[in-house]
Chains A and B, each alone.
Chain A
Amino acid sequence: MAHTKDIVYGLYNDEEDLLRAVKKANEDHLEIMDVYTPFPVHGLDPLIGLSESRLHIAGFIYGAIGTLTAFGGMSWIFTRDWPQIFGGKPHWPVPAFIPITFELTVLFASIGMVVTFYVINGLGPGVVNPTIDLRITDDKFCIAFDKSEVNAGKAESFLRSSGASEVHSKTI
């Protein structure tokens, strides 16, 4: 990527140290660039100002598209495109459409949400994102500041005073 960032980051050993540090950063009005953790830390999202994910709304829309596709498709085929008589039943056997309509609702919602998830996160096969620290996926909890947004010295002293076990600078 052509666009690079100069960052300063601190590594914490425990998610509770991390949460305390994030609260302190908020009190000090330090703008956190991002927080990286080895697993989802509960209670972190509101502290760093993340609004609730809207993925479920997208999921509902995809599901509704699936419902309409399945029900509409079968209805069109059996009443318009090629009406047939099966066992003397009506041409538009609504109860018989329920299973496939349900399955396609689930299928569309799942595929749509998963694809959306990877696209909006900028993740996907072959994507190479800059690694801040190799231990973030192991046992370190990282708070990163963008040096163009905060005073580097202030951020560094904040990280040291808030219990980070290590503080580093890096260009990513």
Chain B
Amino acid sequence: MSAHISDIREPLINGHKSYHDITEDLVSPTERAPGFGWTVGFILSLTMLAFGLFCIAWTVWHGIGTWNLNRTIGWGWDITNFVWWIGIGHAGTLISAILLLFRQKWRTGVNRAAEAMTIFAVICAALFPGIHVGRAWVVFYFFPYPNTRGPLWPNFNSPLLWDLFAISTYFTVSLLFWYTGLVPDFATVRDRAKGLRRKIYNFLSFGWTGSAKHWQRWESLSLILAGIATPLVLSVHTIVSFDFATSVIPGWHTTIFPPYFVAGAIFSGFAMVLTLMIVTRKLLGLEDYITIAHVESMNKVIVVTGTIVGVAYLTELFIAWYSGYVYEQFAFFNRAVGPYWWSYFGMMFCNVISPQIFWSRKMRRNIAVTFFVSIVINIGMWFERFVIIATTLARDYVPSSWSYYSPTWVEMGIFIGTMGLFMTLYLLFTRVAPVVAIAEVKSILKTAGDQYTGPNKLHHGHGHDDHHSVPAGHGHDSHRGDHLKVVSSNVAAASMAETHEADSSVATTKNDLTKIEGIGPKVAGLLNDANIYSFNQLADTPVSRLSEILAAAGPRYKMQVPESWPEQAGLARDGKWDELEDLQDRLDGGKYV
């Protein structure tokens, strides 16, 4: 491939994978018998789902009176949960569509699971509007179809109807997008399977052959679906926010709602993707495909969207005060210090404060911290919806109808049921389909595999060629990794021998030279080419020699000033890491200030 690959980019596929290794690693989870963890999780999910179904049946049988809604509080946990689930459903399409348009390669590791999550979350969400209308058996009245009641049509001015169209469209498009991506991977599973399993996957893979023309159309289709799904995903939560913003309820009819809801949706969606991916990569052993680099990228999205949400919260407060409109002022005062202060505090803490930890690179790359914060954010986003919906309605215009809302066991049971439904579907998905998009990961191997890029790149010949093809007829693919490994160890051995001659007193080790401020992976490669592998060697190299090495490598490196490198390397060699850190704080890109 002739694409330019930056050496600064971290690899997205680790473990020197060949194409066959990728197939093996990603298909085998669907071929093994389910493990203990999966079985326990599945039984738990099914139990929760069964309880949820019971509660839904209870609601339909006895009516909405089994919920704690009343005359002013018309929306409670039902719509809170609806908005929460829809928000979670936003990350999948964001990852698969927007990141495809932006050519972000890290999407390939997580898009499949995130899209699956979207579909399941939308199913959970769509349940609530369906049952909260009370007479769920006539819910089809929502749809505009020629009927015998006039025909009586729905009100096309109503955001609630727009919502119906938005969510139906979103679900359909996400499903089509997801399944079209799955077809080639189902073919991969099919071609490894035998007997009945082969028949099933042949059906699922639609007879996919891998023909060049099919791939061309497949890519064209993916790109256009991504192009139209991008405004779609933004429209869905915008329309959900219209459900509130077009009303005349203080605290709801604010023009900031659409962007604020969209940012919040992406925020909560990414949090849920992280929660699921961290568990999935561990249970299915996919650490080489869903890497720390993926987690870090998602955490960056979390910190950005979390901060946008925070700005939106503060803007709301400011505008409530600045508008001089007493009802609006009261609504926000009531949210913050009224009887539901705990949910407002929870929202602020979980959504605005907790993600700020991800300004630190160390925290962004810490799996345990990420997992914990992702759950905190999921809870926080639930609080946000609860604050907007229930606390606002509990204190309306007429103080005589004020009340305090808390859910009944039926409402809680339905929420638990949707979580059970979500987990049941997700667990089934991990059994049936490859959790990571196989074909897409293969297509980025040469530009994002760790044997081709990043600090672990194996050297063969010159460090900075980007043409890594195996000579024609070299042999099976899986040998390629080995071939490169041999070359690299030869280089290491040769350098060992040479340094041994130069300085027999010190055994040479290969240190990570990028620890030195001013040295990136590319420059480290140059130094390695010049037989400088360790901190010790670098410390003993005169600055003039370093300048020569850089000058010889071409004009791209003339900005590099190596004056502090030997001093830094000396500290690193002696293990004086604290002093090195102090020094680096004073340096500016490796230069003395």
- Point out residues on A near B: beta carbons under 8 Å: 13-17, 20, 34-45, 48, 50, 52-53, 55-56, 59, 63, 73-74, 77-78, 81-82, 84, 86-87, 89, 93, 96-97, 99-100, 102-104, 106-107, 109-111, 113-114, 117-118, 120-129, 131-132, 134-139, 142, 162-165
Contacts and interface: CB of A to CB of B under 8 A. Distances in A.
Nearest to B157: A96
A53 B216 contact: yes
B173 interface: yes
Contact of B191 (A87, A93, A106, A138): A138
B403 to A, nearest CB: 29
A128 B190 CA distance: 12
A38 B19 contact: yes
Contact of A55 (B211, B221, B480): B221
Interface stretch (B8-16, B200-208, B423-431, B507-515): B200-208
Given A13-B477, A129-B207, A110 B212 contact: no
Nearest to A135: B191
Given A53-B217, A82-B152, A165-B475, 19 more contacts: A34-B211, A35-B212, A36-B212, A38-B442, A63-B228, A73-B144, A100-B161, A100-B165, A102-B235, A103-B162, A110-B177, A123-B207, A127-B207, A135-B191, A137-B23, A137-B208, A139-B18, A139-B20, A165-B473
Closest 6 pairs between A and B when the two form their complex, measured CB to CB: A163-B472, A127-B207, A139-B19, A16-B469, A53-B220, A40-B215
A145 B183 CA distance: 25
Given A55-B217, A102-B235, A111 B176 contact: yes
Nearest to B217: A53
A56 B191 contact: no
B464 interface: no
A136 B153 CA distance: 53
A118 B191 contact: no
A94 to B, nearest CB: 11
Contacts of A123: 183, 206-208, 214
Given A117-B218, A121-B214, A103 B169 contact: yes
Given A55-B221, A125-B203, A128-B207, A99 B235 contact: yes
Contacts of B188: 38, 137-138
Contacts of A132: 209
Given A17-B470, A99-B235, A129-B209, A81 B218 contact: no
Given A44-B212, A121-B217, A14 B477 contact: yes
Interface residues of B, number: 73
A75 to B, nearest CB: 10
A106 B157 contact: no
Contact of A78 (B156, B211, B440, B474): B156
Contacts of A78: 153, 156
B44 to A, nearest CB: 33
B519 to A, nearest CB: 31
Nearest to B444: A39
A162 B472 CA distance: 7
Contact of A37 (B207, B212, B228, B476): B212
B157 A50 contact: no
